[in-house]
Structure 1
Amino acid sequence: MRIHRSRAAALATLTGLVLGLTGCQGGGAAAKSPATSPGTSTAASGTAPAPTPTPTPTPSGSGTPTADASATPAAPDGKGSGGPGTEDSYAYTHPCSARNITVKVTSPEGFPATVRVVTVTNNGSTTCGLAYFPAVGFSAKGAALGIQAKAPEGLGGAPAHPVRPGATAYAAVDLNPSGGGGPVADEINILADPDHMPNADSVHFPLAVPGPVARPKVGLYHFTARDSFKTLS
């Protein structure tokens, strides 16, 4: 009997110890949560951090984008502003005015000695139109010789030659294509647009080297002197 009691007491004591330890461990797990060390990344837990949204700038005014006021569209030939009234078609119904153009006569290098080039520059703010060619006459000592330069035949195309703001039109004139004899002229007379300008708008220029005028020709207005010269043949 002593032996049985001792074993029973020992078993009871052991059972009590096991239950006591189990109760202490359970209470500690419920009361405390694992601490996170300062250097631990949140990505290590398997949950990615939410991306921080980028703030959207708030547009000023109505929110409608505006064009750069300093950007000015260029015309195809690099002249003028490219704005309303500067397109070529505008010239078809708006002839050039004598007060808005500058007419000159030059003797360019690389051309025959008998060739002069008439230049017409548009000083206005809109495109204007010229007739196909200028009217060209000649004088000697202030008296008209009654000789007019002949223009090419079989003309057609646009109703006018457009001259944009700041641009120049060129018309070549050959005083003596054949090199024959004729009355000597010391002055050339230019009417830039015989279709729309009165004779009073003619301008007169002395010829630096007076020479004979025989069957003179005038070329069509063009964007370069060389291209106008080609229309003389």
Structure 2
Amino acid sequence: MSMKSTLPSAAVLLVGALALTACQSDSTGAASAPSSPSASTSAVAPSVSPSKSGSQSAPAATSASATTPPATGAGTTKAAPKPAPAKDPGAASDPDGYAFRHPCGIGQLSVQVTRRAGAPTQRVIAVRNTGPLSCGLSYYPLVVLDSAKAQDGTAAVHPLVPDGLGGPPAYPVYAGHTAYAVVDLDPSGATTGTATGVDEMDVLPDAGHMPAAQTLDFPLGKGTSVLKPKLGLYRDTVADAVASMRTADMLP
């Protein structure tokens, strides 16, 4: 082998070895070099923002769990339902007692005034309880005989009523039943000395519990004779109401 051929070959091998060594050194340095501290921190640290008080707010994951609606449990408060009002047991078992405690209202009554058959001077006042429960009336209705045109009551005539009233403080009227009161405009049947200008009968079913504004007016017609009229108590039948009327002897 000659020296010329050997030297170039050795030189080539030496250059190749140096180049390989440099490549290995660069590759190892790139793989083992650590990442920059700032990049690592920003990758793993949660994002936070300062609150108004100066402290840091909770991480996003904590905030999400805090806003999750809590499950319904013992801490949930609900308003108790209002109980239904109890009915008065006496409405069915003791209708009389219930009526004494519950006066009739004008809205639950139907009031009619008719002429009594065979007795031209008598008028029948029928007060019917149209409500579902019994109610109480006073002993007798408030009746005033007057002129429809009169405004000052100067022509008003009040009928006599029975004396010596006692017992319960009201007259009970059961649901669907009717109480009757009879007024005789001219018990004597006189044609002279009668009140003049009387052509209307004002009826208040219960003066003890109803205001005067609830008074009902019923026409009597012109020429009606009115002299010392009498009014009886409320009764279950017209016949009993007539009998009561005949005992009237005092002004209400």
* TM bracket, shorter-chain basis: 0.5 to 0.7
Tell me: CA distance 1:89–1:117, structure 2 relative to 1, closer, same or farther (3 Å).
Answer: same
The list of structure 1 runs, each at least 4 consecutive aligned residues, that deviate by more than 6 angstroms after superposition, is: none
The amino acid across from 2:103 in the alignment is: P
2:160 to 150, 155, 158: 150
Aligned to 2:112: 104
Aligned to 2:195: 183
Secondary structure (helix, strand or coil) at the match of 2:156 reads strand
Tell me: CA distance 1:86–1:186, structure 2 relative to 1, closer, same or farther (3 Å).
Answer: farther
- Residue 138 (structure 1) shift: 1.3
In the TM superposition, what whole-angstrom CA distance separates every residue of 1:41-89 from its partner, at most 9, and x where no partner exists?
xxxxxxxxxxxxxxxxxxxxxxxxxxxxxxxxxxxxxxxxx96377122
The 5 Å alignment of 1:72-87 reads 84=92, 87=95
Distance in 2 between the 1:197 and 1:115 partners? 25
Distance in 1 between the 2:98 and 2:130 partners? 16
TM-score by length of 1: 0.61
The structure number with the bigger radius of gyration is 2
Secondary structure (helix, strand or coil) at the match of 1:196 reads coil
- Contact between 1:138 and 1:147, CA under 8 Å: does it hold in 2? yes
In the TM superposition, what whole-angstrom CA distance separates every residue of 1:118-137 from its partner, at most 9, and x where no partner exists?
01011111100000000111
- Residue 142 (structure 1) shift: 2.2
Secondary structure (helix, strand or coil) at the match of 1:92 reads helix
Aligned to 2:41: none
Unaligned 5+ segments in structure 1 are 1-81
Is 1:135 the counterpart of 2:147 in the alignment?
A: no
In the TM superposition, what whole-angstrom CA distance separates every residue of 1:12-50 from its partner, at most 9, and x where no partner exists?
xxxxxxxxxxxxxxxxxxxxxxxxxxxxxxxxxxxxxxx
Distance in 2 between the 1:138 and 1:177 partners? 14
Unaligned 5+ segments in structure 2 are 1-89, 247-252
- The count of aligned residue pairs is 151
Aligned to 2:233: 220
Secondary structure (helix, strand or coil) at the match of 1:148 reads coil
